[in-house]
Structure 1
Amino acid sequence: MKGKTLKYIIFLALVSITGVLSIQFFLLRNSYKYSEKQFTESTVVALKEVAWQLLQETGNTANFDSIIPVEIVADNMYRVYIQVFDRELLKQQLIEELKKHEIYTNFEFAVFNPETEQMGEGTLITSDLDEKQTYFTFPLSKRCTDYFSVHFPNRTSYFNSRLSVWYFFSALLMLVVFFFGYTLWVIIKQRQLSEIQKNFINNLTHELKTPISSIGLSAKVINDKKILETPQRLFEYTKIIQEQNNRLSKNVENVLNLASIEKNRIHLDKEDIHLSSFLSETIEHFKQSDFGQKANINTKLNGFNAVVYADKFHFSNLVVNILENAVKYCEQKPEIDIELKKIKGKYELEIIDNGIGIPKEHRKKIFKKFYRVPTGNVHNVKGFGLGLDYVYKIVNAQGWKIRVEENPKGGSIFTLTIQNTK
């Protein structure tokens, strides 16, 4: 799948998801508002019916059309301005009329006492018709007249129960969107992995074919008897074979290390290591390599006599990998400073280079397998993107930490926080 096609698919997917979620939210909000409106209208009609029934009991129905018996105090509070002579009758009428209008939720009611000018004792009627005393404080009306108040304490819960089907389908839609997004994320990751593996295979093919071709060409030249007439030329071709053989061996070793690490077969043969002498030996060994001969390495070990419990072989490879990168990714004479510090009881090994540096957005990715910082169409440095992945796995296996920062003078600073010290 081409990059542009994938971008269009992602864009259309995002537009579709946004549209579907917006429509769902709009419908859900409208359904909630409609339920609110329906609840209010049904409650007002039911309370008017209650008022009519009470007036029928007293024979004063002639005045019903000339008054506005129901006042909406709040979304869940109503007042009915009518005289109540029988509180038990009021309760029965409220239960009957609310049930008739399909309002199945708890409600509280209290009757205003004009003699004390206070609300009488409130009563809570549950949805299963149980009667309990309520401690809700009914606010008084500014109109000093006969009335009773009705309060619905579980109004929101009532709406939620009515809209449970909508909530279910909304949750189902969100679940579908989540799996759709996850699938899209997997496709993108697989595409990235495919690109990385493709680049790895291309690099591996080149890195293996080049030394093999050089060795084959040199062997062909040496196989000619006339080469004995020019010993110096013979020496040059044997040197080429040796160098390319070392290069081939190292590439094969990198691939085998990768396979071993992928199968979680990192075997750490830990021992006590004197950090200062170990670093001196490792740096001296590195200076004898092709990369080490190009670099100027300055050490500042500050006389620490730290002893680390670690695998000497992997620890040495870890340091060498970082040093090789410092040389490979440098466009001038490589200058590397190695300093050992002690901070909060832990030793920190800083490897500071003057290379091309690592952009901030790539610093967390450089420790991933096969990852290489993009350089456009320029590929001056060959490699597989395995070195820092190996470093990171060994650091984790040892229980240490590593971070990368920018060198203010140009380049990068790799800081290794070493634990398990004595």
Structure 2
Amino acid sequence: MQGKALKYIIMLATVSIVGVFLVQFAFIRSSYNLSETQFQESASVALKEVAWQVMLATGTTETFDSITPVEVISNNTYLVNVGVAIDKELLKQHLTTQLKRHDIYYDYEFSIYSPIQEQMDESTLVHIDENEEPSDFDFPLNEEYTNYFGIHFPDRSPYFLNQLSIWYFLTALLMLVIFFFGYTLWVIIRQRQLSEIQKNFINNLTHELKTPISSIALAANVINDKKILKSPDRLFNYTHIIQEQTIRLSNNVEKVLNLASIEKSRILLNLEKVDLTAFLQEASDHFRESKAGQNAKVEIKTKISDCTILADRFHFANLVSNILENAAKYCDKKPVIEIELLQKQNSYELNFIDNGIGIPREHRKRIFKKFYRIPTGNVHNVKGFGLGLDYVYKIVKTHNWKIKVNDNPKGGSIFSLTIPT
């Protein structure tokens, strides 16, 4: 029920965030359109004032009502029809004055149409500090006008930044709130996963420690009976059980202590040259002699005669041992493990191919995490704490190697280790 509730909370939160974003986007877009309209209206009124001032200077204002002074070409380009000859300096003065009067404090460029040359004069860019320089903007022409000028605003972003600053601030604040909300939700989910992993680890640890302790206690009770002295063979069997279970208990405790040691300190590698072919042969021989590998068949396949790498021999041996032990443990028939060594362009590829039960795709990225084991309910048919592959991944990462898991087409899994040359 808790899992479902968390899913519903995440879905509701996602829908809410998307809704807030859509509303915020609609407000910003509406405000932008409103600012666009306001700019266009302010610019049109200012340019009408400029046209009136130019016509007033020549005494031809009686025709002002009969013409359309301002033609909007685009959101930032305008043509202004005055019907009389235009003085450039006077025009610049009027433009600067009227634009500032209507709160348009931005750079602009203008050009005057020459009826004699039937083209626009060289356009001039006027900066906000009233400096000017040549401009290469290509103003449009209007065949119906005889005396007119064009004006273009090359950058209106400061205007919109000023008009929409409050919305930009609110959007940034919303993004910050969503970020912290998402981070908090991620922490909750992460803690829930860690709690589940910790619970599974404690269950596995309890089971792994309880079994040898129970066996030792049972054997000790039998040995405590004086009658056992009359059966030396039986006494020997129970002492062997105690010894075997003590070793098992010691190994489990050692695994946990090694984990704590690795977590506290960084893994320091003692790199040395390792003949990979000979090393794999030695590692497979040791595995065959172990309890986990007594019934397994291990075969090494390679066509490489000379293969030397830099590696920490101790940790590399543990890495190979962990992979081989997992291949033997997670197999419901006679384990057959093939170690394949291939040479690529800039690396060696070491494949451990087994015929085990395989690893479902959804668990492959998580098997290298600490304490993680593929869920099997309350069934503890395979012993372990979920520490082996976590250790393998740490050693691979420390060596700057790569590891991945794929399906074995014949059944089982393929652990592929990439070692750069």
Change (3 A) 1:57 1:299: closer
**1:50 Cα shift?**
2.2
Give the structure 2 partner of residue 42 of structure 1: 42
Residue number in structure 2 paired with 1:323: 324
**SS of residue matched to 1:282:** helix
Q: 1:148 to 1:282 in 2, by over 3 A?
A: closer
In the aligned structure 1, how far is the partner of 2:234 from the partner of 2:78?
108
The question of 1:100 aligning with 2:101 is answered: yes
Match of 2:357 in 1: 356
| 2:282 corresponds to 1:281 | yes
Indicate the SS of the match to 2:339.
strand
Residues 117 and 144 of structure 1 are in contact (CA less than 8 Å); yes or no, is this contact kept in structure 2? no
Q: Distance in 2 between matches of 1:155 and 1:275?
A: 66
Q: Which amino acid aligns with 2:80?
A: V
Kept after mapping to 1: 8 A contact 2:81/2:145: no
Q: Distance in 2 between matches of 1:40 and 1:117?
A: 28
8 Å Cα contact 1:84/1:111 also seen in 2: no
Once the two structures are superposed, what CA deviation does each residue of 1:37-76 show, in whole Å capped at 9, x if it has no partner? 0011111122222223333334443333332221111111
Worse-matched range after superposition: 148-157 or 130-139: 130-139
Contact 1:108 1:125 in 2 (8 A): yes
Q: Which residue of 1 aligns with 2:11?
A: 11
Supply the distance in 2 between the matched residues of 1:58 and 1:122 (Cα, whole angstroms): 23
Q: Which moved more, 1:281-290 or 1:35-44?
A: 281-290
1:212-252 residue CA offsets vs partner (Å, 9 max, x unmatched): 11111111111111122333432332232222112111111
- Higher mean alpha-carbon deviation, 327-336 vs 375-384, is at 375-384
In the TM superposition, 1:217-256 aligns within 5 A as: 217-256=218-257
Q: Against the structure 1 CA distance between its residues 346 and 94, is the aligned structure 2 distance closer, same or farther, given a 3 Å change threshold?
A: closer
TM-score (norm 2): 0.91
- Which deviations, in whole Å up to 9, do the C-alpha atoms of 1:182-202 show, x marking residues without a partner? 222122112211211121112
Structure 2 partner of 1:146: 147
- Following superposition, the deviation at residue 163 of structure 1 comes to 2.3
Per-residue deviation, 1:86: 4.6
Distance 1:418 1:51 in 2: 77
Q: Quick one: distance in 2 between partners of 1:216 and 1:90? A: 106
* C-alpha distance in structure 2 between counterparts of 1:112 and 1:341, whole Å: 77
**SS of aligned partner of 1:294:** coil
How many Å apart are 1:36 and its aligned residue?
0.5
1:46 and 1:308 map into 2 onto residues whose CA distance is 78
* Matched residue SS, 2:144: coil
Q: Does structure 2 conserve the Cα–Cα contact (< 8 Å) formed by 1:84 and 1:90?
A: no
Give the distance between the partners of 2:72 and 2:180, measured in 1 at CA. 46
Seen in structure 2, the aligned counterparts of structure 1 residues 302 and 138 have a Cα distance that, compared at 3 Å, is: closer
Distance 1:126 1:331, change over 3 A: same
In structure 1, what is the Cα distance between the partners aligned to 2:176 and 2:385?
Answer: 39
**Partners of 2:219 and 2:241 within 8 A in 1:** yes
Distance 1:151 1:295, change over 3 A: same
Query: Against the structure 1 CA distance between its residues 416 and 99, is the aligned structure 2 distance closer, same or farther, given a 3 Å change threshold?
Result: closer
How far apart, in 1, do the equivalents of 2:126 and 2:92 lie?
Answer: 9
Aligned pair 1:162/2:166, yes or no? no
The equivalent residue for 1:62 is: 62
Q: Does 2:135 match 1:111?
A: no
Letter in 2 for 1:79: L
Q: Which runs of 5+ in 2 are unaligned?
A: none
The residue identity in structure 2 corresponding to 1:71 is: E
1:331 deviates by 1.6
Aligned partner of 1:389 in structure 2 is 390
Aligned-pair identity in percent equals 63
Higher mean Cα deviation, 237-246 or 349-358?
Answer: 237-246
In the aligned structure 2, how far is the partner of 1:101 from the partner of 1:241? 97
- Which moved further from structure 2: 244-253 or 107-116? 107-116
Q: Which residue of 2 aligns with 1:79?
A: 79
Distance in 2 between residues matched to 1:66 and 1:272, nearest whole Å:
95
CA distance in structure 1 between the aligned counterparts of 2:378 and 2:60, rounded to whole angstroms: 95
Cα distance in 2 for residues equivalent to 1:306 and 1:407: 25
Aligned to 2:197: 196
Equivalent pair of 2:327/2:354 in contact (CA under 8 Å): yes
| Cα distance in 2 between the residues matched to 1:262 and 1:41 | 67
Q: Judge conservation of contact 1:111–1:148 (CA < 8 Å) in 2.
A: yes
Aligned position for 1:216 = 217
* SS at 2:220 equivalent: helix
In structure 2, how many angstroms separate the alpha carbons of the residues matched to 1:63 and 1:302? 97
Supply the distance in 1 between the matched residues of 2:121 and 2:304 (Cα, whole angstroms).
88
Name which of structure 1's ranges 229-238 and 239-248 shifts more when overlaid on structure 2. Answer: 229-238
Post-superposition CA distance 1:105-141 (Å, at most 9, x none): 1222222222222223433332223344433222211
Give per-residue Cα distances to partners, 1:231-274, cap 9 Å, x unaligned.
34323322322221121111111111111111225354555544
CA distance in 2, matches of 1:91, 1:308: 77
Greater Cα shift, 307-316 or 258-267: 307-316
- Structure 2 letter corresponding to 1:393: K
The alpha-carbon distance between structure 1 residues 4 and 102, as it changes in their structure 2 partners (threshold 3 A), is same
Q: Secondary structure at the match of 2:294?
A: helix
**2:406 partner amino acid:** E
Q: Name structure 1 gaps, 5 residues minimum.
A: none
- The verdict on how the C-alpha distance between 1:147 and 1:344 changes in structure 2, with shifts beyond 3 A counting, is closer
CA apart distance, 1:302: 4.6
- Which whole-Å CA distance do the structure 2 matches of 1:287 and 1:101 have between them? 90
Query: How many matched pairs?
Result: 420
Offset at residue 35 of structure 1 (A): 0.7
Alignment correspondent of 1:264: 265
Q: Distance in 2 between matches of 1:17 and 1:288?
A: 59
Task: Say which SS state the counterpart of residue 292 (structure 1) adopts.
Answer: coil
Cα 1:417–1:152 change in 2 (3 A) is closer
Query: For the residues of structure 1 that align with 2:69 and 2:272, how far apart are their CA atoms?
Result: 92
What code does the residue aligned with 1:169 have? Answer: L
CA–CA distance in structure 2, aligned partners of residues 220 and 16 of structure 1: 65
Report 1:336-347 matches (<5 A).
336-344=337-345, 346-347=347-348
Task: Tell me, yes or no, if structure 1 residue 291 matches structure 2 residue 292.
Answer: yes
